[in-house]
Amino acid sequence: MAKYNLKINGKIRPVDLDPSTPILWVLRDHLNMPGTKFGCGMAQCGACTIHLNGQAVRSCVLPVSAIGKQEITTIEGISANGDHPVQKAWLEHDVAQCGYCQSGQIMSAVALLKTMAAANRPNPSDADIDAAMSGNICRCGTYLRIKEAIKSAAGPLTETSDRPNGGTKK
Amino acid sequence: MKNQDNSHSPIGRQGAGFNRRSFLKSSALAGGGMMLSFSWFSTAKAAEKMQVLNLPEQWSELTGYIKITPDNVIKILCPNPEFGQNVMTSLPMIIAEELDADWKNVVVEIGPHDNVKLGPQFTGGSNSVRSYWKPLRNAGASARQMLIEAAAQTWGVPAGEITTKAGVLAHSSGKSAKYGEMAAKAAGVTVPKDVKLKTPKDFSVVRKSKKNVEGQKIVTGKPLFGMDYRADGMLIAMIQHPPAFGMRLKSFDATAAQKMPGIKEVFSFKLYDDGFEQGGFDTRTFNELIAVVGTTTWEVMNARKKLIVQWEPTGDLKETISGRGGKREVTVPGRLETTGSQFEMMAEHAKKPAQQLRKDGDPETAFKNAAQIIERTYNAPFLAHNCMEPMNFFAHVTEDKAVVAGPLQAPGLVEPTLSKLLNLPADKIEIQMTRMGGGFGRRAYGSYVYEAARISQKVKAPIKLMYTREDDMTYGIYRPMYTATYRAALDANKNLIGFHVKGGGIPENPVHANRFPAGAVDNYLAEGWEIPSNVTIGAFRAPRSNFNAAAEQSFLDEVAEAMGKDPIQLRLELLKKAKENPVGKNNDYDANRYIGVLELLKEKSGWGKPENAGKKRGVAAYFCHASYAGHVVDMVMRDGQPYVESVTSAIDCGVVVNPDAARNMVQGAVVDGIGQSFYGALTHKDGAAEQNNFHNYRMIRHNEAPKKIEVHFVENDIDPTGLGEPPFPPVFGAVANALFKTTGKRYYNQPFGKDITIPKS
């Protein structure tokens, strides 16, 4: 067992557990944050995607001991009121069917758009989306709507504080 | 009966004290307002229900709930479990339509499990909307009538002069009231015996797209799924199942596992006791399992790895099955199966005489006199459902009651078995239905619920049983393996004079003998056979159809080619015959609706138009679950590989309740079909599944999905027919036919992706 002070969604969350415990289970079992989903346990499906310092990572294979001072963001933390432009786009396009993979899809999409904005190329192409999103399986097959939602969120996102380096709207 | 698909109809509890007396009750809510419980059959005939679900008559006592509060909130309970087909939105829309409710004021909750009040509550067989359509309309219309009566009494005007719109009652005198204001009084009104339902042209909620009522919760990661379920003092449980079908537990040493941190108990248990009569949906993949129970998931996962287990072959087993065909003893063979030999076994079996399922005319003579015979054999492997949310269930079993909660398609089928296993009366068993992270048929088989209940009973604590992905994928309950040989006889003028299908599978025969082209060919023969196996199988999105459509629809493509006909034209000509001069009896399909879908598909895809001449296109259409669906698939080569670039889909499912959500489901079915046909396969070596996670079981991903899927519905006023399944099967055939156009080669064996040969350019 070991003690960690994890920074999750802007708050310090102390935990005391086995250092090999993946962040997925720290979130789900220890901190009662079930938004991050278990799908495969081997970084193959993306359902457990979170951000580590803003980068999309698979939390099911990321041991708590590897976090250090890096900041974790989960689906519960990307917006205060569930109104992140990506979340809004997901609702506007009525993307979800079963919905189980969508936390992970949204986390990958948010990271993609941040990266694109930082590179001053805020509107991702189909190829950009395929490259960033193909690690996230949707068993219901909502891929087209996810792509549409990402494209429609790309504009608004560049006008929010999420824009780290001043990307411009097309 | 026409238009039914009973291949996996549930046989529920019979004689469980239900009666057929219709009733309609209303009562006042504490704090004012009304609560209405409805018979859903005061206008709909029970027989119509039977036709859809093939249920025993005792199921016909069905009621539902609407609650209206004084502050005008209308709460509607959704009877059916939600697994992504969007019933939590579409079923309440049906009530809201006839109630004339303002959708903005409607709040939806999933109902409790209560087959008496809420009907069959079976999510599967594309049944939800079609079986609840009339009962829910009747419920909404009755509530509206009672609100009108309350207003009439209050205002002293004739009820017939009161109109309703968007949750407001109005009279020409200028008087008006919101539903909430009249709700308490309406609760005391005598429930109307007969209510008039709207004509479809007056629909204002139905046919207008509504967003998923749980959308906000989904995008913010709220706990909705079984995996997210928590209870005070809840422990985590996992099972260790044998590594192969045909193996069982011999002995185990749990010493090391038990010493691991957080571990409470490690023990073996039997799913069913010896001689237990399994219901039709009670699967017995592995009857003896080891349970590891501890505090947290990671601790239990790690402890399970420390188990030292000896396994042994089961040998042949006897099982007693009741339900779905009556009580019978079955022998489950003990052999350890390997995929290559499974296919050889099927090929060998296919040569033997089979059961005749249908015969019209004189097929033997037709084939003897044929100028040309086309014969092709199609094969398909087992498929794993691979729901994104692995199987899991919460259970808290005490001496006098059981509470279970989680993702389940068929609570009504699980309850009687739980009752027997736990020796508790049904009314002491509470089943709570969570949102399901996918189902696809897999969660109609509740063995994981029984496992959870057994474990909770043993450890005397609330537990959540969780499968890992590996547990889930290697546990069985797969789509069966299938094969079918199709033969077509052509005369010297290239007329189709005979058609023969002989299909079989492990362990299920796929053939739907009364479907197209039965009814359209004078000399027709359908035969089927089965090979028993210890690999467990279950319904998989459009059972049997998902293979037949692949085989039959690519066979018809080849027959059209041999006849020198356009593939859509051939189908239309055959359907014209089936419509005007049908062959034989009991043709399942309505040729008119089938023709309508093909014509819509032809128009919307620009089939045969000069501008599409250069496209690599494949077409297929199929009938199942009382609906009609067809696709035109356009394929392209990208980086040396074939991809489906765009798809045009046409569907006739009658009235489309929630159009945008319906389009979403069809698009999903198309993506699913492309993925399964290219990549899907669960193979075995010596009884063990060779795939156990997504690194070796390939699923379709973003970059492999089409860029465009256009969905078109036939517009008509026919009561809704199925939608979750019908668009799925024809995708396989359309993909196979497009692959032929793209690669010059026919694909007979699924998954197509494993032996795609790229033409030299």
Q: What is the mean pLDDT of residues B590-603?
A: 98
**How far, in Å, CA of B592 to CA of B599, rounded?**
10
Which whole-number Å values give the CA distances from B275 to B251, B271, B330, B545, B733, in the listed order? 22, 12, 12, 34, 43
The CATH topology of domain B25-199 is Aldehyde Oxidoreductase; domain 4 (3.30.365)
- Strand pairing of B74-78 and B392-397? unpaired
* b/e B131-165 (16+ beta carbons within 10 angstroms → b): bbbbbbbbbbbbbbbbbbbbbbeebeeeeeebebe
For A114, the domain range is 85-157
pLDDT above 70 as % of chain A: 91
Judge contact between B191 and B25, C-beta under 8 A.
yes
**What tokens were used for B401?**
């009651």
Q: Considering only CA atoms, give the Rg of chain B.
A: 27
Instruction: Identify the helix (H) or strand (E) that includes residue B285.
Output: none
pLDDT at B63: 31
pLDDT digits (tens, 9 = 90+) for B126-155: 999 999 999 899 889 988 999 999 999 999
Same domain? A67 vs A90: no
Q: Is A19 on the interface with B (CB under 8 A)?
A: no
Closest in A74, A82, A138 to B219, CB measured: A82
- For B136, residues 6+ apart whose C-beta sits below 8 A from its C-beta are B40, B64, B91, B94, B95, B98
Q: What is the mean pLDDT of residues B89-112?
A: 94
Judge contact between B178 and B69, C-beta under 8 A.
no
Least reliable range by pLDDT among A29-43, B26-40, B243-257, B533-547: B26-40
Q: At what angle do helices B411-422 and B447-459 cross, to 10 degrees?
A: 40
Judge contact between B653 and B716, C-beta under 8 A.
no
CB-CB under 8 Å, A38 with B227 = yes
Phi, psi angle pair for B223, to nearest 5°: -70, 110
**B263 pLDDT higher than 50:** yes
From edge to edge, which strands make up the β-sheet containing B496-506? B355-360, B523-530, B496-506, B481-490, B372-380
pLDDT digits (tens, 9 = 90+) for B567-588: 999 999 999 999 999 999 899 9
What's the total number of domains in chain A?
A: 2
Category of B311 on φ-ψ map: left (φ > 0), alpha (ψ -120 to 50) or beta:
beta
Best probe of the B interface among A100, A107, A125, A150, by most B CBs < 10 A, is A100
Q: Of A31, A54, A77, which residue constitutes the final position of a domain?
A: A77
CATH classification at residue A133: 1.10.150.120
Same domain? A38 vs A99: no
Per the DSSP assignment, residues forming a β-bridge with A56 are: A51
Per the DSSP assignment, residues forming a β-bridge with B356 are: B527
Judge contact between B69 and B33, C-beta under 8 A.
yes
CB-CB under 8 Å, A45 with B661 = no
Residue A164 lies in a domain: no
CB-CB under 8 Å, B668 with A97 = yes
B279 burial (CB, 10 Å; 0-12 / 13-18 / 19+) is buried
pLDDT digits (tens, 9 = 90+) for B170-226: 999 999 999 989 988 888 888 787 889 999 999 999 999 999 999 999 999 999 999
Three-class SS state of B350:
helix
B458 burial (CB, 10 Å; 0-12 / 13-18 / 19+) is middle
Same domain? A6 vs A72: yes
Same domain? A65 vs A111: no
Residue B28 pLDDT grade (very low, low, confident, very high; cuts 50, 70, 90): low
Neighbours of A80 (CB within 10 A): 8
- Give B33's DSSP letter: -
E-assigned strands of A30-111? 49-52, 55-58, 71-73
Q: Of A34, A57, A77, which residue constitutes the final position of a domain?
A: A77
**How far, in Å, CA of B180 to CA of B32, rounded?**
9
Which CATH architecture does the domain made up of B226-318+391-466 adopt?
A: 2-Layer Sandwich (3.30)
Same domain? A103 vs A67: no
**B17 pLDDT higher than 50:** no
**B733 pLDDT higher than 60:** yes
Q: Tell me how many residue pairs between chain A and chain B have CB atoms under 8 A apart.
A: 192
B700 min Cα distance to partner chain A (Å): 7
**How far, in Å, CA of B216 to CA of A99, rounded?**
11
Contacts B699 to A, Cβ<8 Å: 45, 137, 139
Closest in A34, A44, A140 to B438, CB measured: A140
Least reliable range by pLDDT among B22-26, B292-296, B582-586: B22-26
pLDDT at B274: 87
**How far, in Å, CA of B645 to CA of B636, rounded?**
6
Same domain? A72 vs A136: no
* b/e B39-49 (16+ beta carbons within 10 angstroms → b): bbbbbbebebb
pLDDT at A155: 73
Judge contact between B632 and B734, C-beta under 8 A.
yes
**How far, in Å, CA of B274 to CA of B319, rounded?**
9
- Strand pairing of B277-278 and B317-321? parallel
Three-class SS state of B56:
coil
CATH classification at residue A50: 3.10.20.30
Judge contact between B348 and B517, C-beta under 8 A.
no
Q: What is the mean pLDDT of residues B600-621?
A: 97
Same domain? A96 vs A152: yes
- For A22, residues 6+ apart whose C-beta sits below 8 A from its C-beta are A59, A60, A61, A62, A63, A64, B298
Least reliable range by pLDDT among B23-37, B78-92, B273-287, B323-337: B23-37
Assembly ipTM: 0.94
pLDDT digits (tens, 9 = 90+) for B515-530: 999 999 999 999 999 9
**How far, in Å, CA of A113 to CA of A122, rounded?**
7
**B158 pLDDT higher than 60:** yes
Instruction: Identify the helix (H) or strand (E) that includes residue B508.
Output: none
Judge contact between B622 and B545, C-beta under 8 A.
yes
B705 burial (CB, 10 Å; 0-12 / 13-18 / 19+) is buried
CB-CB under 8 Å, A143 with B671 = yes
The amino acid at residue B584 is G
Same domain? A58 vs A99: no
**A166 pLDDT higher than 90:** no
**How far, in Å, CA of B174 to CA of B636, rounded?**
64
pLDDT at B327: 84
pLDDT digits (tens, 9 = 90+) for B699-723: 999 999 999 999 999 999 999 999 9
Residue B275 pLDDT grade (very low, low, confident, very high; cuts 50, 70, 90): confident
**What tokens were used for B697?**
């079981």
**A25 pLDDT higher than 80:** yes
- Give B446's DSSP letter: T
CB-CB under 8 Å, B664 with A94 = yes
Best probe of the A interface among B298, B465, B469, B679, by most A CBs < 10 A, is B298
Same domain? A60 vs A114: no
Chain-centre distance for alpha carbon B54: 15
Residue A166 lies in a domain: no
**B511 pLDDT higher than 90:** yes
**What tokens were used for A86?**
């990506």
Mean residue pLDDT across chain B: 90
Question: Chain B 413-452, CB below 8 Å of chain A: which residues?
Answer: 435-440
Same domain? A55 vs A89: no
pLDDT at B50: 31
Q: What is the mean pLDDT of residues B162-177?
A: 97
Tell which wins on pLDDT, B585 or B235.
B235
Q: What is the mean pLDDT of residues B715-737?
A: 98
Judge contact between B644 and B633, C-beta under 8 A.
yes
**B65 pLDDT higher than 80:** no
pLDDT above 90 as % of chain B: 81
From edge to edge, which strands make up the β-sheet containing B463-466? B263-270, B288-294, B235-240, B463-466, B392-397, B402-406, B429-433
pLDDT at B12: 27
Q: What is the mean pLDDT of residues B542-571?
A: 98
**What tokens were used for B519?**
């009814």
Chain-centre distance for alpha carbon B24: 31
**How far, in Å, CA of B588 to CA of B3, rounded?**
5
Contacts A29 to B, Cβ<8 Å: 236, 296-298
Judge contact between B549 and B517, C-beta under 8 A.
no
pLDDT at B47: 31
Q: CATH 3.30.365.10 in chain B: give the residue spans.
A: 25-199, 226-318+391-466, 481-755
**How far, in Å, CA of B103 to CA of B441, rounded?**
31
Question: Chain A 44-103, CB below 8 Å of chain B: which residues?
Answer: 44-45, 47, 74-76, 79, 82, 87, 90-91, 94-103
Residue A168 lies in a domain: no
CB-CB under 8 Å, A90 with B693 = no
Same domain? A38 vs A54: yes
Q: What is the mean pLDDT of residues B291-317?
A: 98
Which CATH architecture does the domain made up of B481-755 adopt?
A: 2-Layer Sandwich (3.30)
- For A132, residues 6+ apart whose C-beta sits below 8 A from its C-beta are A56, A108, A109, A111, A112, A115, A124
Q: Considering only CA atoms, give the Rg of chain A.
A: 16
pLDDT at B9: 31
Best probe of the B interface among A33, A112, A139, by most B CBs < 10 A, is A139
CB-CB under 8 Å, B221 with A35 = yes
pLDDT at B7: 35
Could you check whether the bond before residue B135 is cis, i.e. omega within 30 degrees of 0?
no
Instruction: Pinpoint the alpha helices (H) of B543-700.
Output: 545-563, 567-580, 591-605, 659-679
pLDDT at B758: 66
Residue A13 lies in a domain: yes
Q: Of A77, A96, A125, which residue constitutes the final position of a domain?
A: A77
